[in-house]
Amino acid sequence: MKISPTLPALVAASFLAGCAVTPLPRTDSPIVALAPDEARKSGQTGAKVRWGGVIVKTSPELAQTCFEISSRPLDEEGEPLQTDRTFGRFMACAKGFYEPSVYAADRKLTVVGTLAPAVAGKVGEHEYRYPMVKVEALHLWPVLGPSSAPMYFYDPFWNLRSPLRYPYPYPYPFRYR
């Protein structure tokens, strides 16, 4: 049986395509290292930023959808980190309709866009000025379910190997014969 020389290349390409991660879109202009809380204080506009965080609220409007986002630090790939550290909140408005049930609260979102003038709003009863981003590109990070959790091997005889782990030779006392 003779194997076609293109078959291994096709198999390798399909394997690599299955492992590929969708990168965030690249931009021609440089991204400014400015956090949302710094932009809120300075009132800077026109700068290109890449911010991300956890969606608080999604508000579809007639020609655009606005996201209220609680910002988080980003890792090297641009994904918001799962942390309590925050840089405040910001608003991000993208052209078109984005389904609120998909872009739901507590989902991670990263946006690339241009800073626009801040918008007044409220967080509870507190007056708040949201830095506004006019979105050029956005990325909704997938929800990782139990099937994507790392697998760990559990050795049922682990405590038989070390007398220091348990006062008994097994998690419950029994007699050896």
Decide if 88 is inside a domain: yes
Decide if 103 is inside a domain: yes
The tens-digit pLDDT sequence of the chain (177 residues) is 566 666 555 555 555 554 444 445 555 667 778 888 888 888 788 889 999 999 999 999 999 999 999 999 998 888 999 888 889 899 999 999 999 999 999 999 999 999 999 888 888 888 988 999 999 999 999 987 666 556 665 556 555 555 555 554 545 454 444
CATH of residue 120: 2.40.50.140
User: Distance (Å, rounded) from C-alpha 160 to C-alpha 171?
Assistant: 9
- Tokens 């399909």, residue located: 14
Q: What is the pTM of this model?
A: 0.66
Query: Distance between alpha carbon 140 and the CA centroid of its chain, in Å?
Result: 7
C-beta separation of 49 from 32 below 8 A: yes
Number of domains in the chain: 1
- Phi and psi at 164, nearest 5°, equal -85, -15
Query: Which residues make beta-bridge pairs with 19?
Result: none
Decide if 67 is inside a domain: yes
Per the structure, the complete domain to which residue 117 belongs is given by 21-143
For the chain, the residue count is: 177
Decide if 114 is inside a domain: yes
Report helix, strand or coil for 61: coil
C-beta separation of 92 from 108 below 8 A: no
Decide if 10 is inside a domain: no
DSSP string, 90-117: EEEEEES---TTTS-TT-EEEEEEEEEE
